[in-house]
Structure 1
């Protein structure tokens, strides 16, 4: 039985890491992948381990172990080497290691300390030209090197909310289309439809002849269903889309709709709310009410807009209100999204080698 070892921060996992793991998986009977970030890093350890397990689910002989390693990186220090090696041995569980697979300069010394053979894998990054450092600096430029669960974590989520017939769906669809025209990573920009309308259509289809929207009965369970389906659709779209995900409403907005129909919001619906990167509120002012057969709240539009303003002001997420004619609203929305993208992801720097001439690479 040949046991291989792969060690890295995987901050974040990318195609180069997957190539490294796949290479080890093909060469060994079993492989242990040690995910060993420091606690200063921004992406949770459990997320990285889960992402790697998902991507490599077809290789059951590869196991993933997460462990934090806050030992200062100074590979000119024997004490530092001993501490790092001890951490990795704990993760391996004392099992004998036959081969160490690495794209980093430290791989040779790490293999020596395990009494194993070093197998260098694409150290020049010629086969898969990407590194963790490059991804952290510009995720958009390396979007094609990220697996679906990693894309979902990085995607900037922009949610359009508003009262009935204020153009939320029109704006969400147009914003996504505008971003797709940029091409590259943005060509896959998705928008998530409002599940509440889907459920409304299902309820309308079950009405008896002569009954209308006014006869619909809404329950707490209906709104719990809406937030569950809305969140699931949002997460699925984030995995498959581009760096920006546009959502026509979300669970936060659903809580306000529940209040509108049932007087107050229940705890399961409140608990389902997420924290997107930006909210866009479509004002009702100057927008004529159009009854498409699934609307019944013209008299409540001003109240709903006010409730959205109040709740958005208290939620701690950046938001802007879109006013004026359609073209101005879209232009304002695009500018706001560009501001979110320009702000970047603000990922904390990993622990760096004490000596810039250290043999330790920084691309994991």
Structure 2
């Protein structure tokens, strides 16, 4: 069995994230989807976990996991490489063995080294969602076409 990993903040979950998750599902048997959430963020981690559970309720291969942390526990580091090393160390202790990490950013390559797994960089999400997640949060009605039903319900946005 091939186990994959996707890590994100999902602030909010949007079709770019869903494209990455969909791509990962085409290449593994089970997918751990880790939601990194700190108390400093505008949407609680539990809400984002629920979005993923609702959105992927019909697919038992998707395993959403909430990773609540504070900056003292897993701080941003002086480089992507050092930050990836810290996160990988934590994930190795708290997740089952990972065979491949899927990412749309360069941290995926670093994480794979520290997790002793394959890395796949999938660039399509950045092309699918050409706007920052902060803009989606600021104007969810304008970007409703980029968010799944569970997120639209949170914002009470009609399409």
Report the TM-score when normalising by structure 1: 0.40
> Structure 1 residues 147, 120: closer, same or farther in 2, change over 3 A?
same
* Cα drift, residue 91 of structure 1: 4.1
- For residues 122 and 135 of structure 2, the distance between their equivalents in structure 1, rounded to whole angstroms, comes to 18
- For residues 94 and 51 of structure 2, the distance between their equivalents in structure 1, rounded to whole angstroms, comes to 18
> Structure 1 residues 75, 117: closer, same or farther in 2, change over 3 A?
farther
- For residues 83 and 69 of structure 1, the distance between their equivalents in structure 2, rounded to whole angstroms, comes to 12
Equivalent in the alignment of 2:152: 151
* Cα drift, residue 77 of structure 1: 7.4
Per-residue CA shift, 1:297-351, capped at 9, x if unaligned?
Answer: xxxxxxxxxxxxxxxxxxxxxxxxxxxxxxxxxxxxxxxxxxxxxxxxxxxxxxx
- For residues 104 and 50 of structure 2, the distance between their equivalents in structure 1, rounded to whole angstroms, comes to 22
> Structure 1 residues 77, 35: closer, same or farther in 2, change over 3 A?
closer
Which runs of no fewer than 5 residues in structure 2 stay unpaired? none
- For residues 150 and 53 of structure 2, the distance between their equivalents in structure 1, rounded to whole angstroms, comes to 11
Per-residue CA shift, 1:270-303, capped at 9, x if unaligned?
Answer: xxxxxxxxxxxxxxxxxxxxxxxxxxxxxxxxxx
Equivalent in the alignment of 1:255: none
Counting only pairs closer than 5 Å after superposition, residues 1-364 of structure 1 correspond to structure 2 as 1-70=1-70, 71-76=74-79, 80-92=83-95, 95-122=96-123, 125-155=126-156, 241=158
Q: Per residue, is there more strand in 1 or in 2?
A: 2
- For residues 15 and 145 of structure 2, the distance between their equivalents in structure 1, rounded to whole angstroms, comes to 9
Q: Is the 8 A contact 2:49 2:65 kept in 1?
A: yes
> Structure 1 residues 84, 34: closer, same or farther in 2, change over 3 A?
same
* Cα drift, residue 35 of structure 1: 0.6
- For residues 129 and 123 of structure 1, the distance between their equivalents in structure 2, rounded to whole angstroms, comes to 10
Which runs of no fewer than 5 residues in structure 1 stay unpaired? 156-237, 243-364
Q: Is the 8 A contact 1:67 1:91 kept in 2?
A: no
* Cα drift, residue 33 of structure 1: 0.5
Q: Is the 8 A contact 1:16 1:131 kept in 2?
A: no
Indicate the structure (1 or 2) with the bigger Cα radius of gyration: 1
Structural RMSD (CA): 2.2
Q: What secondary structure sits across from 2:143 in the alignment?
A: helix
- For residues 78 and 147 of structure 1, the distance between their equivalents in structure 2, rounded to whole angstroms, comes to 32
* Cα drift, residue 27 of structure 1: 0.9
Q: Structure 1 stretches (4+) deviating beyond 6 angstroms?
A: none
Per-residue CA shift, 1:39-85, capped at 9, x if unaligned?
Answer: 21121111111111111122211101001133222252776444322
Q: What secondary structure sits across from 1:47 in the alignment?
A: helix
Q: Is the 8 A contact 2:19 2:125 kept in 1?
A: no
User: Higher relative CO (CA 8 A, sep ≥ 6), structure 1 or 2?
Assistant: 2
Q: Is the 8 A contact 1:12 1:132 kept in 2?
A: yes
> Structure 1 residues 36, 124: closer, same or farther in 2, change over 3 A?
closer
The number of residue pairs the alignment matches comes to: 156
